[in-house]
């Protein structure tokens, strides 16, 4: 089934701020045939996201950031989360452009190459947010400190961690951000091939 199997009866914007909230009245085709009852659903329009996990193949390290997250605070959890670099994809921008820009602004990293990992929804039951996730090859030498755009309220601590340590943090439940978990799980699977491929390429060059 696809968009043609959904009937939108009404759509109203009920809030516009840091995010926008739209209220839908709709019904959709059922797996066993026929149509559902009319459903009232609120959907949060958050924008689409580009995220990147900077990886230094030569040093076997990754670059992670730590920042305050009000959603985690409101949920009663520790609101300082360890994450990938990420940013909203604005009009007329590509996901690759945003990944490179945010890596520099949030972590002081320049990307040598961007390798697509996944494209996925974070919470499709209520959010439109779609994430394009990359592995970004970088040089982590000298990376660290506090970064971020002060006028946007950003206070971002940058840390460089060994690849194995970062993956172990994910395995021990110390990473609470879903995008970062997906990135580190991808890295755990693909890192040996990634290291072999790009080490061979740099030696040939």
Active site residues: 152
Q: In the structure encoding, which two tokens stand for residue 192, read together?
A: 């040996």
Q: Are strands 49-56 and 85-88 parallel, antiparallel or unpaired?
A: antiparallel
What sign does the CA torsion over 11, 14, 17, 21 have? negative
Q: Which residues does 195 contact at the CB level (< 8 Å), separation at least 6? A: 57, 60
Q: In the structure encoding, which two tokens stand for residue 82, read together?
A: 């360890």
Which whole-number Å values give the CA distances from 149 to 106, 130, 155, 156, in the listed order?
A: 8, 23, 8, 9
Q: Which residues does 201 contact at the CB level (< 8 Å), separation at least 6? A: none
Q: Tell me whether residue 8 is exposed, middle or buried, using C-beta atoms within 10 angstroms of its C-beta: 0 to 12, 13 to 18, 19 or more.
A: exposed
């Amino acid at each position: 089934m696809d968009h043609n199997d959904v009937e939108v009866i009404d759509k109203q914007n009920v809030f516009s701020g840091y995010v926008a909230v739209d209220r839908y009245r709709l019904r959709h085709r059922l797996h066993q045939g026929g149509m559902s009852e009319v459903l009232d659903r609120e959907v949060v329009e958050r924008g689409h996201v580009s995220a990147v996990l900077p990886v230094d193949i030569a040093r076997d390290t990754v670059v992670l950031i730590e920042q305050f997250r009000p959603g985690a605070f409101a949920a009663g959890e520790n609101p300082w989360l360890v994450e990938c670099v990420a940013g909203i994809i604005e009009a007329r921008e590509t996901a690759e452009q945003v990944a490179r820009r945010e890596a520099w602004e949030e972590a002081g990293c320049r990307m040598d190459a961007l390798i697509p990992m996944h494209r996925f929804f974070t919470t499709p039951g209520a959010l439109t947010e779609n994430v394009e996730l990359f592995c970004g090859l970088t040089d982590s030498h000298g990376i660290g400190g506090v970064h971020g755009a002060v006028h946007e309220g950003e206070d971002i601590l940058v840390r460089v961690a060994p690849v194995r340590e970062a993956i172990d943090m994910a395995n021990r439940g110390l990473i609470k951000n879903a995008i970062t978990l997906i990135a580190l799980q991808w890295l755990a699977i693909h890192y040996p091939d990634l290291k072999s491929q790009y080490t061979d390429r740099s030696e040939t060059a």
